[in-house]
């Protein structure tokens, strides 16, 4: 990890109390008292009721983004004479309540494990609107999905063709499947997230795909829907998608010569703003470029435009979510390597257990004081957790008011994606509650873990009648 004093994108804020609409939930404001309110609920009253750390989600913002993305892709598809299916990528942030919202809003959902499948079903999503992913689905997961009538299984390997066909045959069903292909498109993103490069575990190569689709077509119990491509995550560049369209439509054309290929799934990966100054394209920009590329390529290959499918996750869930923490120990660390500049280390009561992304992907986040406005000037700060790792960082580079003090409530922006879903009990910390706020009221959709929960599966603890 290169520890520069501050990266070039970080600018000293002109107003430490500012709330940047680019990153915070739509209904988050700093009220006249100086305190942050989300959908009409004050930060301090959320903390009084639910404690910290706390995941807070602006429910109407989540709903608006989900609906907005669905509409955008449907319109873009309609503009080229086809339709679009939009799947919310469940791994991003999933509880049965969120699945319920997704269902109400008419989106489909993607899952990648038995647990995610159960959450979707618990949210009343009809099985036929579920897409099932994963590079190593168990035979049990496959059998359960087939038996429930899952809408599509995304086959990720040659071996999985036989597995899905066997499950479908055993239940005398015809299972719809897609084939995940590895287009080789290098999306402009962090290495670990770039899932379409060749030297990685997902999908099958473009070269192998025709033979594998022929194999799929040999099974009466399988129905081939089309190819699936997911080129990465947190993508800002539209070129990667356009290139993926070129490659997948060429393959799609080839496959169409030997049987029907009704759909083309182009995955997710649409990037969002995490910090002031980020300029993620709007999903409208992505959708328009993709639609034009699909139209051009289909025309070139003289095939009809297939039904399109998309799988946005982060774009829906990231910005409606924030995390609230209570500041504890604060240290001014003098940096000899940087002309004795001072970085304020603000320790909070959570950390890499509730947000692993900074440690895992060197992700950047943005924080503010949520419990009050400050008259102090900005100070270079780093928000760190309470875990026993120096890499336990939540916000690596930011400014906070110089008077930030123990007991202040901090809010970190855009934590709605890949935070709760990646959370752990490292250092035996209990996982935070998830609270949905809407029109002035707050309700827990997942309660906070208790110490008793931590030991619920600890055999000796339970045998001794503790807790």
Ligand X SMILES: *Cc1c(COP(=O)(O)O)cnc(C)c1O
Taking the least distance from each CB to ligand X, the nearer of 110 and 243 is 110
Of the candidates 292, 297, 277, the one whose C-alpha atom is nearest the C-alpha of residue 236 is 277
Are 212 and 206 spatial neighbours (Cβ–Cβ below 8 Å)? no
Strands 204-205, 175-182: pairing kind:
parallel
Query: Residues 100, 105, 108, 112: what is their CA dihedral angle, to the nearest 10 degrees?
Result: -40
Active site residue 388: yes
The distance from CA 81 to its chain's CA centroid, rounded to whole angstroms, is: 30
Q: Based on CB atoms, which residue is closest to ligand X, 230 or 382?
A: 230
Give the separation between CA 197 and CA 220, rounded to whole angstroms: 32
Q: In what order do the strands lie in the sheet with 28-30?
A: 28-30, 36-38, 41-42
Residues near ligand X, by CB under 6 A: 89, 91-92, 110, 133, 230, 233, 267-270, 311-315
Phi and psi at 367, nearest 5°, equal: -130, 155
- Our CB check for ligand X shows the closer of 86 and 429 to be 86
Q: Are 217 and 258 in contact (CB under 8 A)?
A: yes
Residues near 196 by beta carbon (within 8 Å), at least 6 away in sequence? 182, 183, 184, 185, 186, 187, 202, 203, 229, 230, 231, 232, 244
Alpha-carbon gap, residue 457 to 307, rounded angstroms: 46
Nearer to ligand X, 219 or 418 (CB): 418
DSSP 387: S
**Closer Cβ to ligand X, 234 or 371, answer by number:** 234
User: In the complex, what is the shortest distance from the CB of residue 422 to ligand X, in angstroms, rounded to a whole number?
Assistant: 12
What is the signed CA dihedral for 98, 100, 103, 105, rounded to 10 degrees?
-70
Residue 53: cis peptide before it, omega within 30 degrees of 0? yes
**Please, which residue, 285 or 458, has the CB nearer to ligand X?**
285
> Which residues have CB under 8 Å from 163's CB, separation 6+?
137, 139, 142
CB of 419 within 8 A of CB of 351?
no
> What is the three-class DSSP state of 453?
helix
In sequence order, the β-bridge partners of residue 73 are none
Q: Of 1, 48, 388, 459, which residue is the catalytic one?
A: 388
> 108-111 and 130-132: which strand pairing?
parallel
Question: In whole angstroms, how close is the CB of 417 to ligand X at the nearest point?
Answer: 6
- Spatial separation of the C-alpha atoms in residues 173 and 146, rounded to whole Å: 8
Q: Does residue 150 contact residue 168 with C-beta atoms inside 8 Å?
A: no
Dihedral of the alpha carbons of 424, 428, 434, 440, in degrees to the nearest 10: -140
Nearer to ligand X, 270 or 274 (CB): 270
Q: Which is nearer to ligand X, 40 or 114 (CB)?
A: 114
Question: So which residues are the catalytic ones?
Answer: 388
């Amino acid at each position: 990890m290169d520890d520069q004093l501050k990266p070039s994108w970080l600018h000293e804020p002109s107003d430490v109390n500012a709330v940047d609409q680019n990153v915070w939930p739509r209904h988050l404001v700093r009220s006249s008292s100086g305190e942050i309110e989300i959908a009409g609920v004050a930060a301090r009253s959320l903390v009084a009721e639910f404690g910290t750390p706390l995941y807070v989600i602006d429910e109407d913002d989540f709903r608006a983004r989900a609906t907005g993305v669905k509409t955008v892709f449907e319109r873009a598809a309609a503009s080229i004479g086809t339709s679009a299916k939009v799947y919310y990528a469940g791994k991003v942030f999933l509880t049965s309540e969120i699945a319920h919202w997704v269902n109400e809003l008419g989106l489909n959902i993607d899952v990648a494990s038995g647990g995610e499948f159960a959450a979707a079903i618990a949210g009343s999503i009809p099985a036929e609107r579920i897409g099932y992913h994963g590079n190593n689905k168990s035979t049990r997961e496959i059998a359960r999905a087939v038996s429930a009538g899952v809408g599509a299984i995304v086959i990720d390997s040659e071996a999985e063709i036989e597995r899905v066909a066997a499950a479908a045959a055993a239940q005398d069903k015809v299972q719809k499947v897609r084939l995940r292909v590895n287009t080789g498109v290098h999306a402009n993103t962090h290495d670990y997230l770039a899932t379409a490069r060749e030297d990685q575990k997902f999908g099958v190569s473009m070269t192998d795909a025709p033979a594998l689709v022929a194999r799929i077509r040999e099974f009466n119990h399988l129905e081939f829907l089309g190819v699936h491509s997911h080129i990465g995550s947190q993508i800002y560049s539209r070129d990667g998608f356009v290139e993926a369209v070129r490659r997948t439509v060429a393959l799609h054309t080839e496959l169409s010569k030997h049987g029907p290929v009704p759909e083309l799934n182009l995955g997710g990966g649409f990037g969002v703003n995490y910090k002031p100054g980020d300029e993620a394209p709007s999903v409208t920009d992505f959708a328009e470029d993709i639609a034009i590329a699909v139209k051009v390529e289909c025309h070139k290959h003289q095939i009809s435009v297939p039904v399109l499918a998309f799988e946005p996750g982060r774009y829906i869930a990231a910005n409606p979510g924030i995390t609230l923490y209570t500041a504890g120990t604060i240290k001014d660390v003098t940096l000899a390597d940087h002309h004795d500049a001072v970085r304020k280390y603000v320790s909070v009561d959570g950390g890499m257990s509730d947000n692993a992304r900074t440690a895992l992907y060197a992700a950047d986040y943005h924080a503010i004081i949520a419990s009050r406005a400050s008259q102090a000037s900005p100070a270079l700060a780093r928000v760190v957790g309470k875990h026993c790792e120096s890499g336990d960082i939540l916000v690596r580079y930011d400014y906070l008011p110089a008077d930030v003090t123990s007991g202040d409530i901090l809010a970190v922006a855009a934590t709605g994606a890949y935070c709760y879903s990646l959370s752990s009990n490292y250092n035996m910390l209990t996982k935070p509650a998830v609270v949905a706020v809407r029109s002035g009221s707050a309700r827990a959709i997942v309660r906070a873990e208790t110490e008793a929960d931590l030991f619920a599966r600890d055999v000796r603890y339970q045998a001794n009648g503790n807790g």
